[in-house]
Amino acid sequence: MKRVTLWLTVFLAFAVMVSGVGVSYVKYLTRKQFAKLQTIKTECDQAETRWMRLQLEESTLTGYALVESRARNELGLYLPPINEIKILK
């Protein structure tokens, strides 16, 4: 009877130690994954900021006044007088 109690105690002590090591390892893995998640979130925020800047730049570069100015200055285009405009139906 005492021998069974001794083996049971040893087994349970071993199980507690293995469980403790397992908990520590899982906590380590969780911290590692959380750090990776934070890095990815930071990269996502930076990409979103770049995307907004690009959209703003695009809207600035494609504004009607800029397009008209470049058409006049660089291509020599002009708005025709009213009597030269023909509407086709």
Model confidence over 11-36: pLDDT tens digits? 999 999 999 999 999 999 999 999 99
* H-only helix segments in 1-89: 2-61, 64-75
Give the span between the Cα atoms of 56 and 65, in whole angstroms.
Answer: 16
Give the span between the Cα atoms of 55 and 46, in whole angstroms.
Answer: 14
**What is the reported pLDDT for 33?**
98
**pTM: predicted TM-score of the whole model, two decimal places:** 0.56
DSSP state for residue 87 in the 8-state scheme: -
Give the span between the Cα atoms of 82 and 68, in whole angstroms.
Answer: 18
